[in-house]
Structure 1
């Protein structure tokens, strides 16, 4: 290959560019990004950046030295609008085309929106520009904040808003937040963190609509209640950015369909990160975005699937001064056992806890709240396919 184009100046896109050079590709490297910014770290947007504890200079994922070493052409502030049928030409929104021998799709995902999101005071939090706008508005005195969605982004943003002194309510349509990830028993425990942080949690009802003419004034719930609001933050998930691939020969279904090696139906096209459905799973987590590019690049340069990737699922979330960590593959039929620490009145103790998910006498997943060291030991055991013993977590 003489030219490889990375579409998406994202975390996974940067890691893919790094891997190309690390694995010996010395040809032309083009990176296309729809935002005007160089790749930046997104997890702090809902935490330290939003609260003002860190500035934009702390978000950069690379420095000038690495930029020089990568020797890439950065086409920023321009959106990809198409990929030709053979995957050899990337069409750009400004009319330019990039002829290429290989393509790495790393376009990520966009925040889902609700009708009424055009009202002043309504925000999503996915990009640096989103975070800039929300941070500016949160600095204008105490506000009534309603967060729609109790997932990771919603919970982290609610935690930050509460830490800034705002009056915060979280609305979650499901009976509990994070049930798909943690199961009902542990989801109920982690929901206690909202109470501990002084945030009202409304569950089991959806949103009927946003109220207001020019600016938002409230959130109407499906059960008829009206929550007054000065600021509304919509955190109801994300949609993979695949619109630009319509008309290509790639298979699309909630992401770009890939085999276990991140390779699409075209061997010269691979996909990584939030946009990629690898082996039937699309994982919107930092670890997937950083682990998939190594295998994807190897297979791209080989011209076929020479290696597959199936890392142990892992994610973390910082909420209300606590760190939640989870690793493994749980089923609804798994039993859960507190192996360390404790829970009081449905809320994690101040020292946190470590819980093991078990099935047929073996550990399938591990959950930690503020128990990082035993969690990392248990995660290593899981990664090796070994049953987590008591000695590993005590």
Structure 2
């Protein structure tokens, strides 16, 4: 039976996408979108790029125009965190209890801290984080970034554009190597070094001390890196603390079946907080990518209304992108499981390139820099595990 009211907890891209999809599918019941931040729902990718450099402001990164929600009958409850869930009853921090027929959990993830937060030891996950980091960079000539993932790499590129001295510290031998392989990782690291970023690899941060107004980052080999500001980019943790006692299965996120349903009737989860079961992998996987969040949202909205989700060709194939130094990096599928790589566009020494990843002769992924057409054309082939090309077609 279609619920009379649906509450979405989390004003994230996934949460907003669920609300919009419910209305697109013709749902006429009450839709409430609850967010812990006071801001209108906003897009997070610009936080490490255009917002940080000042090329855009908070009003330019909204997910929807301010009137969008009222026009569609979507009630916004902002600046009021959810603090508990029992069945489909949602307790809010202001004492209210919402009792809808269905709940969608879309509370996202938070940055993994490196130590006790302070003004010069920061993370970047939300709008307030981004604005604080932008202000601090104006008078912090030395930035140390712990973690060479996409957030760390994007902030490094943005900070160099602002003329900030940047040291990027990565625990692994190469940033991105666990995702894209060593050859591609080396190619993606080259622009950072060319831009003057000091890159230290194989160097997990042991601790960060605040001494005489600056930060000291200690490495295992005894080296100490000095900075005016330290950004922790060492991964994320799903926002599941408010679900204690809910009866939901929690692992690395809210554990769901392959359609986003949890073990509690009427409760679903999407986006960065959700770990959906993936039959191909034989386990629950939590993806932290914009495109995946919106695809999950469409699927869950359809399921709540008792409809069969209609996936676009290639939907469900993991996709990520990152903008650095004016170039766009894109990756599809699961390159991390590959046992073969082929360069099919340019070369890894070039500004533009594309590669394919295979496992046991089947296509499992694609990646590239400034080669969107040569990456995205393989999405459907990755979804159906087509055979790897017999011969690379470099320059095609």
Q: TM-score range by the shorter chain?
A: over 0.9
- Say which SS state the counterpart of residue 17 (structure 1) adopts: helix
- Say which SS state the counterpart of residue 366 (structure 1) adopts: strand
Give the corresponding residue for 1:26.
Answer: 28
CA contact (8 A) 1:261 1:307 kept: no
**1:131 and 2:135 correspond:** no
217, 220, 229: which one aligns with 2:218: 220
Give the corresponding residue for 1:297.
Answer: 301
Superposition pairs of residues 1-394 of structure 1, within 5 angstroms: 1-84=3-86, 87-118=87-118, 120-140=119-139, 143-213=141-211, 215-279=213-277, 280-302=284-306, 307=309, 311-344=316-349, 349-350=350-351, 352-383=352-383, 385-387=385-387, 389=389, 394=396
Which runs of 5 or more structure 2 residues have no equivalent in the other structure? Answer: 278-283
- Say which SS state the counterpart of residue 68 (structure 2) adopts: helix
Deviations 1:66-109 (A, max 9, x none): 2222212211101101001xx22100112111111100100000
Q: CA deviation at 1:254?
A: 0.9
Q: CA deviation at 1:321?
A: 2.3
Q: CA deviation at 1:160?
A: 0.4
Q: CA deviation at 1:184?
A: 2.3
2:33, 2:379 → 1: CA distance?
A: 34
| Shift in alpha-carbon separation, 1:93–1:214, aligned structure 2, 3 A | farther
2:212, 2:70 → 1: CA distance?
A: 46
2:123, 2:336 → 1: CA distance?
A: 31
1:393, 1:377 → 2: CA distance?
A: 15
1:21, 1:383 → 2: CA distance?
A: 29
CA contact (8 A) 1:377 1:392 kept: no
| Shift in alpha-carbon separation, 1:130–1:27, aligned structure 2, 3 A | same
Q: CA deviation at 1:320?
A: 2.2
Q: CA deviation at 1:135?
A: 0.5
Q: CA deviation at 1:19?
A: 1.1
CA contact (8 A) 1:162 1:199 kept: yes
Mean alpha-carbon deviation: is it higher for 305-314 or for 159-168?
Answer: 305-314
TM-score (norm 1): 0.92
- Alpha-carbon RMSD across the aligned residues, in angstroms, is 2.0
Mean alpha-carbon deviation: is it higher for 376-385 or for 151-160?
Answer: 376-385
Q: CA deviation at 1:359?
A: 2.8
Q: CA deviation at 1:181?
A: 1.1
Q: CA deviation at 1:232?
A: 0.7
CA contact (8 A) 1:145 1:233 kept: yes
| Shift in alpha-carbon separation, 1:196–1:222, aligned structure 2, 3 A | same
CA contact (8 A) 1:172 1:202 kept: yes
- Say which SS state the counterpart of residue 264 (structure 1) adopts: coil
Q: CA deviation at 1:362?
A: 3.1
Mean alpha-carbon deviation: is it higher for 204-213 or for 6-15?
Answer: 204-213
Q: CA deviation at 1:202?
A: 0.5
2:77, 2:59 → 1: CA distance?
A: 21
CA contact (8 A) 1:89 1:100 kept: yes
Mean alpha-carbon deviation: is it higher for 176-185 or for 278-287?
Answer: 176-185
2:17, 2:378 → 1: CA distance?
A: 27
| Shift in alpha-carbon separation, 1:15–1:175, aligned structure 2, 3 A | same
CA contact (8 A) 2:248 2:264 kept: yes
Mean alpha-carbon deviation: is it higher for 187-196 or for 6-15?
Answer: 187-196
1:195, 1:212 → 2: CA distance?
A: 27
2:384, 2:190 → 1: CA distance?
A: 32
2:377, 2:388 → 1: CA distance?
A: 9
2:70, 2:362 → 1: CA distance?
A: 49
Mean alpha-carbon deviation: is it higher for 355-364 or for 36-45?
Answer: 355-364
Q: CA deviation at 1:64?
A: 3.5
